[in-house]
Structure 1
Amino acid sequence: MRLLATVTIPQTVWVWPAAILALAATGLLVWTYRRSPRNDPAGRIAFVAKLLGIFVLTTCLIEPLWSGRRAKSGANLFVVIADNSTSMNIRDPGSDRTRGEILRDALDVTRADWLAALADSFQLRMYTCDSRLRRTSDFSELTFEGTASTIGAALQAVAERYRDRPLAGVLLMTDGNATDGLAPSADPSGSPPIYPVVIGRDRAGKDLSVANVSVSQTAFEDAPVIVQADIEAAGFAGQTVAVELTDESGGLVERQTWKASKNDERQAFRFRVRPSRAGILFYQVRVARVLTDDASDPTASHSEATLANNAWTVVVDRGEGPYRILYVAGRPNWEYKFLQRAVSEDDQVQMVGLIRVARREPKYDWRGRSGEQSNPLYRGFDNQDREETEQYDQPVLVRLNTRDAAELQEGFPKTAELLFGYHAVILDDIEAAFFTHDQMDLLHRFVTERGGGFFMLGGKDAFREGGFDRTPIGSILPVYLDRMPENVTIPTIRMALTRDGWLEPWTRLYDNEQAERERLTQMPDFRVLNRVRSTKAAARTVVTIGGDSEEGLPALIAQRVGHGRSAALTVGDIWRWGMQSPEAREDMDKFWRQTLRWLVADVPGPITLESSDMPDGANDAMRLRVRVRDESFEPMDNVSVAVEVDQPQGQTLRLTATPA
């Protein structure tokens, strides 16, 4: 292969005489033919022939030299890079072959003579490029299944790999769809020449694609998972498109149709799903052109540029459960009965009860007891075991739904190992004096450090009336416990949703506004209210009493506190709602289930896994961060963590985490 050629005129004695002779002969020839009366085609041909003869004679006199340079075979390197990404499966308009098929034919060593010619003159190096650069021998490994097209990184890798070596150039065969951006090299002067061969056309063909899918989980019981998909249709104006949501077994969950009005249009679809089980679930959004009223065309490959973007798989984490909630009440009441009845229908939530049925008596009681040390509540019962009966200066507590005989045997937990095993704590009509200062500090840490949920219900011994002002528990409440003016009166205690309440799925029981307003109208008047004047800065009032958000008093308030969340319900007799009718009881049970689901929704476990994008983002790489904590939720040292990643192809990738 001749790369460069030049023409050289030697400096001989005949150069100037030949030039003068040529000019004189040309002038004489022109003067002679201008005076000749013949002006026919034969005369013109004779003039041109004589002029060429003068040029040939002059060239022979000066004797020009033709010189060229040819690369020494095998002395230099040449790199050929072929794009192996999935974008090469696109079929351009009017073509019966995909871009990948065209590229594969061009690189077929049995038919590509140009590759053999390159190999004769250079040391040929062949690579494929998708998420990373791979060496190949004959391009037979092209599968066009790469999930990325890191063209910029591949060119930089070649430039770095062959730095200070005789690299003649790089032949890049691609469709130009780079996923990492073609950033210029840090040192352009040292980069080899790049010869791009673009495969494909600029004009886009007909194509349906799932552009983006997002998943949001709510505590709304009827549809706790919302899948939103953005569908793009190019070249399908006037045609009907079907969008389907399927579960991991391939079963159809929901199907929606859409008639595109323009050739380039984007439409958002929302699917409301209530998974039948907990844990990790997989759903797939698929889009296809509708052929008939009840059939779609999932295999019409020639009607679209590609079918690779017609489906999107999403992951839904519904948690493993069960979520354990500790309910602490200062007296037996109706609230626990209805709460337990509502939770019993949710197999992912378990509520453990610790109910005080008798208060402790003073340490020094001058009434005669005749040596009796146990609480008078146990009088008249046989087999009074001193270890199982509270002393008269201790409260009498009843444990319900405990995991074993040892759970809560000593009352409210006194250590982090015991308390942090729960996901949420509910305090119902119990005063601050029931807890020691260490227990209140522990409950504060439970919310702010462990990330648990905290919920205080109203009652005569709750909030300010219970002495929680200026305590660690009061600091995590979403309301200030200031003294209310005595002249503030509320004629009726009726609930109303605020603007934030209408936007929160867990506070709404119906999916339409009219039904929700009817439900609020039919709710009874309540009689027990712990009045609070103001909420904290980060708190959101979702329900008020006696008017809207500006006029009414806060009734249901929520906020984020540290790593956890807390809520307060200032109404102390919600049970009246469920006493109206069977329909009202169903609404109240649904309200409790949704509220408790929200309370434990984001509570972390001892081992958490977080994923984030890598800073460079060249290969769509993800960084996995694993946090391992003990029963007290203190970071654990000197532990080994292994991570297994199940890939879609069925392969398992095993990773070993390194301490950060």
Structure 2
Amino acid sequence: MGIRFAYAWPAWAWAGAAALVLLIALVAYRQARGVFSTPRWLLLVGLRVLALALVIVILMRPVRLEPAPAATGRVVAIVIDDSRSMRLPDAQGIESRLQRAQQLIAGRLRPLLSADFDLRLFAAADSLREIPSEEALGGQGRASDLGGAVTAMAERAAAGEFVAMVLVSDGAASSPIPPDRGRLPVFPVGVGAAGSAVDREVRDLTISDVSVVDSLADLTASVVSHGGRETVDVRLLENGRPIVVRPVRLPGASQQVRERFRVSPSRSAATVYTVDVAEAPGELTTGNNRSSVFVPAPGRPHPVLIVEGAPGFEHSFLSRTLARDTGLDVDTIVRKGRNDRGEPTYYVQGAASRTPSLVDGFPRTRAELFAYEAVVLGNIEADQLTRDQLAMLQAFVEQRGGGLAMIGARSFGARGVIGTDLGRLLAVEGRGAGALNAAAGASTRQGTR
């Protein structure tokens, strides 16, 4: 331990500072020389010198130096299994495997290795993370990806970060240890009672997208037996009601079997799906024998507006297809021709609450247009939509974030929208018939517009 200053002065500067301090003190008490006795006058001068010297020392920012702990330059990584299986109690006692691991690190590994190595602790479960001490372990991981942890450590050891790895686990790994670990020596340390423990587990329960109403979804789950090979009944429950029971052959030895179910969630209410496996005789815990997933209701159908400039096969087929999708609420406007006064006439079909605003061939206000989530234009020519309607459509895409699609040969023909404000909205440029077809394909590939 020692003292240093943030501003290092040479010797002549120290001597000059000392002389200056003494001079200032003498000048300050020069007139008091005849008032006080010599001893008292010298005491006052000395105190002033000490005060000025203390100010100078403070301004120079003294720093106390303490020796750092001796570093060996050799780092050993202690990787501890932090999965839920580590919270299981041993067969012969009430202590969990995680508590045994914490006692092992604090009582044996740390005293044994710290004299010769620098130690860093990592928790391994679904992922690998560094922890400050073994007390940070919680046993919350849903899997034991020990194989991934060893692979990651081997890559870091190849860069010179570690010289060895100690792996502390109960052995219930969800991924095998890779045989090729490069230059990294791995020393496994087992915790838990000797012998094979019986435990069945359901994990990694997932469900595919259910945003479309009345659509089927794939629900998958991993079923694991941490004991021997066996055949078990796996159940699928919908809101607590069993809907599927099937026998599943489990290979044991912590190898997982992926099961897939086809389900149809409710349209009007949320659904909870649960996959469970029956309890085994002598099983350590039944807390991991089931897993659930919450599926919210898809909600109301998505409103879509189709505007057709003229009857056409392709968009008529599209309209019928979309109308059959129960996840969509489709309104259709078809321009039929002109009446006796030369005004355009339209055929309107859709929800009774919205069709009155569509009789003029397009929603009258931004609010009425913004009520839709997507607009499909079929065989629309440049003169069918007014400038105000084009401005509303542009705001629909750019501000509301609505979807816009355009189909039909007339839309991209000589009297179509390419080169107009609507064409610029689609970010499409056409030059000649072949370029028009390519531009139409490009607009489809962009997806948003």
TM-score, structure 2 normalization: 0.52
Amino acid at match of 1:440: L
Asked whether the equivalents of residues 202 and 289 of structure 2 are also in contact (C-alpha less than 8 Å), the reply is yes
Q: How does 1:169-184 map to 2 (within 5 A)?
A: 177-179=138-140
Q: Structure 1: any 5+ residue segments left out of the alignment?
A: 1-84, 104-150, 157-175, 181-199, 289-297, 360-374, 377-390, 487-529, 540-556, 567-660
* Equivalent position of 2:287 in the other structure: 308
> Which of residues 224, 231, 234 in structure 2 aligns to 1:240?
231
Partner Cα distance (2:344, 2:374) in 1 = 23
Aligned-residue offset at 1:344: 5.0
Counterparts of 1:98-137 in structure 2, within 5 Å, are 99=95
* Offset at residue 210 of structure 1 (A): 2.5
Residues 366-388 of structure 1: CA deviation (Å, up to 9, x unaligned):
xxxxxxxxx41xxxxxxxxxxxx
In the alignment, structure 2 segments of 5+ residues that lack a partner are 1-82, 100-130, 142-190
Checking the alignment, whether the CA contact within 8 Å between 2:221 and 2:258 is kept in structure 1 is yes
Aligned AA (2:88): I
RMSD, aligned α-carbons: 4.0
CA distance in 1, matches of 2:422, 2:415: 11
Distance 1:469 1:278 in 2: 43
**What SS does structure 2 have at the residue aligned with 1:358?**
strand
Name which of 425, 437, 446 aligns with 1:531: 437
Which whole-Å CA distance do the structure 2 matches of 1:202 and 1:223 have between them?
A: 48
**Alpha carbons of 1:466 and 1:267: their partners in 2 closer, same or farther (altered >3 Å)?**
farther
Cα offsets for 1:254-289 (capped at 9, x unmatched):
445432335121232332223353453221222x2x
2:293 is paired with a residue whose SS is: strand
Partners of 1:558 and 1:256 in 2: CA distance: 43
Residue 362 of structure 2, aligned match among 401, 405, 412 = 412
Tell me the residue number matched to 1:579. none
Structure 1 residues 242 and 334: alpha-carbon distance in aligned structure 2, compared to 1, 3 A threshold = same
> Which of 327, 334, 337 matches 2:306?
327
Cα gap change, 1:470 to 1:533, in 2 (>3 Å): closer
> Residues 401 and 87 of structure 1: is their aligned pair in 2 closer, same or farther, counting only changes over 3 Å?
same
Match of 1:437 among 387, 395, 401: 387
Structure 2 residue corresponding to 1:474, chosen from 394, 399, 423: 423
Contact in 2 for aligned 1:468/1:474 (Cα 8 Å): yes
Matched, 1:455 2:405: yes
Alignment of 1:39-118 (within 5 A): 90-93=88-91, 95=92, 99=95
**Contact in 2 for aligned 1:479/1:535 (Cα 8 Å):** no
In the aligned structure 2, how far is the partner of 1:415 from the partner of 1:247? 44
Kept after mapping to 1: 8 A contact 2:310/2:336: yes
Deviation at 1:424, TM superposition (A): 1.6
Shift of 1:205: 2.5
Report if aligned partners of 2:87, 2:139 keep a CA contact under 8 Å in 1: no
Q: How does 1:440-589 map to 2 (within 5 A)?
A: 440-459=390-409, 461-475=410-424, 477=426, 481-485=430-434, 531-532=437-438, 535-536=441-442, 557-561=444-448, 566=449
Check conservation: 1:440, 1:472, Cα contact below 8 A. yes
Distance 1:399 1:312 in 2: 49
Q: 2:349 aligns with which of 395, 400, 423?
A: 400
Retained in 2: the 8 A contact 1:216–1:226?
Answer: yes
Cα distance change on mapping 1:214 and 1:560 into 2, 3 Å: farther
Secondary structure of 2:257's aligned partner:
strand
Query: Match for 1:268 among 252, 258, 278?
Result: 258
Task: Please give the secondary structure, in 1, of the residue aligned with 2:255.
Answer: strand
Deviations 1:34-73 (A, max 9, x none): xxxxxxxxxxxxxxxxxxxxxxxxxxxxxxxxxxxxxxxx
Computing the radius of gyration from Cα coordinates, the structure with the larger value is: 1
Residues 224-266 of structure 1: per-residue CA shift (max 9 Å, x gap) = 3122323333223x212443332114231x4454323351212
Answer yes or no: is 1:348 the counterpart of 2:298: no
The C-alpha deviation readout for 1:488-523, integer Å capped at 9, x for no partner, is xxxxxxxxxxxxxxxxxxxxxxxxxxxxxxxxxxxx
Q: AA paired with 1:351? A: V
- Kindly tell me: are residues 202 and 299 of structure 1, through their superposed partners in 2, closer, same or farther at Cα, counting changes over 3 Å? closer
1:159-188 deviation digits (Å, cap 9, x = unpaired): xxxxxxxxxxxxxxxxx64449xxxxxxxx
Residues 1:398 and 1:220: Cα distance change in structure 2 (over 3 Å):
closer
Distance 1:321 1:266 in 2: 38
Q: Secondary structure at the match of 1:232?
A: strand
Map of 1:212 onto structure 2: 204
Q: Which structure: greater helix fraction?
A: 2
Relative to structure 1, is the Cα distance of residues 280 and 233 closer, same or farther in structure 2, using a 3 angstrom cutoff?
A: same
* Cα distance in 1 for residues equivalent to 2:304 and 2:201: 44
**Distance verdict in 2 for CA 1:227–1:435, change over 3 Å:** same
Q: 1:448 to 1:265 in 2, by over 3 A?
A: farther
* Residues 227 and 155 of structure 1, relative CA distance in 2, 3 Å threshold: same
Partner of 1:201: 192
Q: How far off its partner does 1:355 sit?
A: 1.3
Aligned equivalents of 1:472 and 1:243: distance in 2?
Answer: 59
Percent of pairs with identical residues:
28
Q: 1:152 and 1:442, CA in 2 relative to 1: closer, same or farther beyond 3 A?
A: farther
- 1:259 maps to what in 2? 249
Distance in 1, Cα, partners of 2:322 & 2:395: 26
In 2: Cα distance, 1:336 partner to 1:223 partner: 24
CA contact (8 A) 1:281 1:317 kept: yes
Contact 1:329–1:429, Cα closer than 8 Å, also in 2: yes
Deviations 1:407-430 (A, max 9, x none): 224431253211110122111112
Preserved CA contact (<8 Å) 1:329 1:428:
yes
